Amino acid sequence: MLVEYVNWTLWAIFFAVVILVKILESVGKPSLPPGPWGVPLAGYLPFLGVDTHLHFRDLARKYGSIFSTRLGNKLIVVLSDYKTIREAFSKEEFTGRPDTEFSNILGGYGVINSDGRLWKDQRRFLHEKLRRFGVTFGSGKDQMQTKIMQEVGMFLKELNNQADQQLTSNGSVDLEPLLAVSISNVICSIMMSVRFEHHDPHFTRFMDLIAEGFRLFGRMAYVNFIPVLRYMPGLRETRQQIAQNRSEMAEFFQKTVDWHRDTFDPSNIRDMTDNYLLEIREAKAEGREGELFEGKDHDRQIQQIIGDLFSAGMETIKTTIQWAAVFMLHHPEVAAKVQEELDAVVGRRRLPKLEDRQNLPYTEATLLEVLRRSSVVPLGTTHATTRDVVLGGHFIPKNTQVVPLLHAVHMDPTLWEEPEKFKPERLLGAEGKVHKPQYFLPFGVGRRMCLGDVLARMEIFLFFASLLHCFHVKLPEGKDLPSLTGISGVTLTPENFTVRLQKRPLEESDYDFLQEFSELQSSLMRNVGSH
């Protein structure tokens, strides 16, 4: 009896000492960022709601600009202060991507969802090639501008047609489907010299597959946080459907790769696919074929790169231009000022060019304000820590998912006066020049910052400035102004809306810019289905 009593006492002392040592060890050591508790297994997941960015903003107000929570079995840290985001994302250890069901399906291919060595090499490669495309590609001419302007021309032509019909039917124009084709064509031409005609059934199928992909991945979202759910009835079928759709997309991209291989000429690099084929060829010649893409399948990597850049560069730009139209409906006085500036600088005999940008500060500031106020990627993309780190005095373990809450930065009243208001002037400095503060982060920041920001700024400018140069964009009679809240998805999109277009004809009636661009386009591009 006594022996048993002594044993128990010794055990109790032992545990007390262990606990004391742990407590002493943790004194002065950083702890996890504060944050809300959830429920067992699901963590905070059931409380998130649809508008995650708004919910996270409210949690940041309560727990601070670095807070943590658990979604399922995953630890999430949300950053909503620009200085912390800048600090964190400048560091190597924040460049990881979460290990989830989604990343398993992608198999580590591409650039957006890869990490480590493959990501680093791909990022460097794409950065260099995209930069060359924008500045020095072709015979000294700005190829990127030419490609974009071809699509701007086609877009305006379609709008012209629709504006004519609208005069008779008194209808209104939905910009979304026209923008979807035009913006897709820009990225498809850069990636693979392909363009779609408006109303092309291939394009409709392509877009349907992408939209369905987003929907199916959305349905699988919970599996990313609670992996065991993958065995639930229904979700297995969803996974199969995703696989089927992905193989249809892959087949489409592979045909493109094959066509490029068949017609490849190293002295005439036409697009990004050719750049990849050249890279593979050089790797073979130098005997480093097996190391290329970290030993991953070459064609699958090209397919995923095309898919990555398409999905990153289409929806974001289309949505931003839609938002620009929405803000012009809300603020006709801003639209009038942009048009006044365009008329004074560009004149009424031609369309705006990239070279005009430096002389169009108000137009530029308007577009920056659209990017700020809409925050089309409100949650950035989720990063992951590659090792244990300390940030802002908090401990963040390896493999934590880290979310940059860009929306909160853009709507922070301590940084932006009356952040809800649309005021382009806030992005103009004292001398009337465009001024971008450090906390303007629509493209994220740091090592994984958007790879397409330069292209995006070019496209948004050329489409928007040309639209306002050629049309007044007005609210159709009897319609309410579209809401500014937005619909949450991968991007924050405006609700469906239409516009009434009133032509602003260019002065010289025989200057047919549309004709000029259609000729350019047909000489340079293959339409889908032509091979």
Q: Could you list the residues known to form a binding site for heme, using ranges.
A: 450
Write out the two tokens for 358.
């430096």
**Does the footprint of ligand HEM cover residue 444 (CB under 6 A)?**
yes
CB nearer to ligand HEM: give 320 or 400. Answer: 320
Q: Which stretch binds ligand HEM (CB under 6 A): 279-287, 421-429, 437-445, 521-529?
A: 437-445
Give the alpha-carbon dihedral of 96, 100, 102, 105, to 10 degrees.
Answer: 100
CB nearer to ligand HEM: give 163 or 396. Answer: 396
Q: Which stretch binds ligand HEM (CB under 6 A): 276-284, 295-303, 343-351, 448-456?
A: 448-456
Query: Contact with ligand HEM (CB under 6 A): which of 75, 376, 428, 501?
Result: 376
Residue stretches of the annotated binding site? 450
**Does the footprint of ligand HEM cover residue 409 (CB under 6 A)?**
no
Which residues, 280 to 319, sit near ligand HEM by CB under 6 A? Answer: 308-309, 312-313, 316-317
Could you give the CA distance from residue 27 to residue 462 in angstroms, rounded to a whole number?
57
Could you give the CA distance from residue 383 to residue 397 in angstroms, rounded to a whole number?
13
Query: Contact with ligand HEM (CB under 6 A): which of 65, 304, 320, 400?
Result: 320
**Does the footprint of ligand HEM cover residue 468 (CB under 6 A)?**
no
**Does the footprint of ligand HEM cover residue 189 (CB under 6 A)?**
no
| CB 221, CB 496: distance < 8 Å | no
CB nearer to ligand HEM: give 108 or 442. Answer: 442
Give the orientation angle of helix 201-219 with respect to helix 235-262, to 10 degrees. Answer: 140
Write out the two tokens for 302.
């090209």
Could you give the CA distance from residue 505 to residue 164 in angstroms, rounded to a whole number?
13
Q: How many residues does the chain have?
A: 531
Residue 370: name the closest of 316, 291, 448 by CA.
Answer: 316
CB nearer to ligand HEM: give 304 or 316. Answer: 316
**Least separation in angstroms between CB 133 and ligand HEM:** 10
**Least separation in angstroms between CB 177 and ligand HEM:** 19
Could you give the CA distance from residue 156 to residue 160 in angstroms, rounded to a whole number?
6
**Does the footprint of ligand HEM cover residue 452 (CB under 6 A)?**
yes
Full DSSP string of 144-165: HHHHHHHHHHHHHHHHHHHHHH
Residue 395: name the closest of 42, 43, 68, 45 by CA.
Answer: 68
Q: Which stretch binds ligand HEM (CB under 6 A): 155-163, 168-176, 232-240, 440-448?
A: 440-448
Which residues sit opposite 395 in a β-bridge? 390
- CA-CA-CA-CA torsion sign (357, 362, 363, 368): positive
Binding mask 65-94 for ligand HEM (x = CB under 6 A): ------------------------x-----
Query: Contact with ligand HEM (CB under 6 A): which of 246, 373, 410, 448?
Result: 448
- # binding residues, ligand HEM (CB under 6 A): 26
**Does the footprint of ligand HEM cover residue 443 (CB under 6 A)?**
yes
Q: Which amino acid is at 435?
A: H
Query: Contact with ligand HEM (CB under 6 A): which of 223, 455, 462, 492?
Result: 455
Could you give the CA distance from residue 76 to residue 257 in angstroms, rounded to a whole number?
38
**Does the footprint of ligand HEM cover residue 377 (CB under 6 A)?**
yes
Could you give the CA distance from residue 473 to residue 502 in angstroms, rounded to a whole number?
7
Residue with tokens 């009897």: 478
Residue with tokens 């850069």: 190
**Does the footprint of ligand HEM cover residue 461 (CB under 6 A)?**
no
Query: Could you list the residues that contact ligand HEM (CB under 6 A)?
Result: 89, 111-112, 123, 308-309, 312-313, 316-317, 320, 376-377, 380-381, 404, 442-444, 448-452, 455-456
